[in-house]
């Protein structure tokens, strides 16, 4: 496995592999890797002959009051996981390597970015889209693997790649969970034992919401009410949103039309970290 600090060497090595006819898979990360990232890297290794991983805590996607300075890091363990899961190329650039001059060019994706996370963190998705666009340009034509845990991020990246005709196939991969259902996230490390139990309410709310849809709920309002009821059992979880949206456009829904693929998306602050989770379901025939 090659580890690069410099963009040029990383790019040249991937270009060489592509010129030899090898397909390139790409997994962008901010490090502090867990089994969720491991599954993305493993999936990329199963699909592609070369697997590039980036490890970069991107300052552009953090607001001034957020956890950029304290974001967890463990490069040694990250590189071991990359190697174990089949990465062939890892880019670990410094902030100066990625942003040698003030960034004047940014990418923002309207509509898909606006609600939910975009409403709570207004500058977040422009930061994500800008760094992902830059990473796509560094890696070159590839299949890029993103977790569904950050479902809105996946939708933003998909739309950006499509709108800008990027030579990248964006592949969404199922969320990896702890045995008790908690979605894996680098920020779970901030939870103490009590908060760790409280955090399970996100998964419980989603399960109850999905069950309501499957049982024939006619409108999104009643599904939201079911999720709100579950959240009310854990008042220390500060809910930012519990939404019912169209899975493709992320447009909020009211009527639930049979056959529609929908996504229930929740976010709540539990202790220090904000946790996100979501679940998909198709509205059944009635
Ligand atoms: O999901 C993440 O870890 C980040 O938002 C990403 C996609 C690596 C961009 O910094």
pLDDT digit string (tens) for 159-214?
999 999 999 999 999 999 999 999 999 999 999 999 999 999 999 999 999 999 99
d(CA 85, CA 69): 28
Domain boundaries, the chain: 2-173, 186-282
CB 203 within 8 A of CB 182: yes
CATH entry, 186-282, from 1.10.10.10, 3.30.1300.10, 3.20.20.450, 2.60.120.260: 3.30.1300.10
pLDDT tens digit sequence for 105-122: 999 999 999 999 999 999
Q: Which of 117, 125, 132, 146 has most ligand 1 atoms within 8 Å of CB, for mutation?
A: 132
Asked if the model's pLDDT at residue 264 lies above 90, the reply is yes
Which of the four pLDDT bands, split at 50, 70 and 90, describes residue 255? very high
The ligand 1 atom at the shortest distance from the C-alpha of residue 157 is: 7
Look up 37 and say whether it is catalytic: yes
d(CA 108, CA 129): 6
pLDDT tens digit sequence for 15-34: 999 999 999 999 999 999 99
Asked if the model's pLDDT at residue 286 lies above 90, the reply is no
Asked if the model's pLDDT at residue 99 lies above 90, the reply is yes
Nearest to 91 by CA among 147, 21, 156, 11: 11
Q: Give the architecture (CATH level 2) of 2-173.
A: 3-Layer(aba) Sandwich (3.40)
Q: Pocket residues for ligand 1 (CB within 6 Å)?
A: 28-30, 58, 61, 128, 131-132, 150, 153
């Amino acid at each position: 496995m090659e580890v690069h600090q410099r963009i040029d060497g990383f790019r040249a090595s991937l270009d060489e592999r592509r010129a030899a006819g090898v397909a390139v898979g790409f997994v962008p990360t901010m490090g502090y890797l867990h089994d969720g990232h491991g599954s993305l890297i493993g999936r990329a290794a199963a699909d592609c002959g070369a697997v590039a991983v980036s490890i970069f805590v991107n300052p552009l996607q953090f607001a001034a009051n957020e956890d950029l300075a304290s974001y967890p890091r463990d490069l040694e363990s990250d590189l071991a996981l990359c190697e174990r899961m089949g990465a062939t190329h890892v880019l670990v650039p410094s902030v100066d390597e990625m942003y040698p001059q003030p960034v004047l060019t940014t990418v923002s994706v309207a509509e898909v970015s606006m609600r939910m996370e975009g409403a709570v963190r207004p500058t977040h998705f422009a930061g994500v889209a800008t760094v992902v666009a830059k990473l796509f340009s560094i890696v070159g034509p590839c299949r890029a693997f993103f977790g569904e845990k950050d479902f809105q991020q996946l939708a933003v990246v998909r739309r950006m790649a499509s709108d800008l005709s990027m030579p990248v196939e964006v592949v969404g991969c199922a969320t990896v969970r702890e045995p008790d259902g908690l979605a894996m996230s680098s920020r779970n490390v901030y939870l103490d034992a009590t908060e760790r139990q409280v955090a399970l309410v996100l998964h419980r709310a989603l399960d109850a919401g999905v069950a309501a849809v499957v049982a024939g709920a006619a409108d999104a309002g009643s599904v939201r009410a079911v999720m709100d009821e579950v959240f009310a059992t854990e008042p220390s979880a500060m809910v930012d949103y519990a939404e019912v949206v169209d899975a493709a456009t992320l447009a909020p829904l009211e009527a639930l039309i049979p056959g529609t693929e929908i996504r229930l998306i929740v976010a709540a602050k539990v202790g220090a970290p904000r946790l996100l989770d979501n679940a998909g379901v198709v509205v059944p025939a009635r």
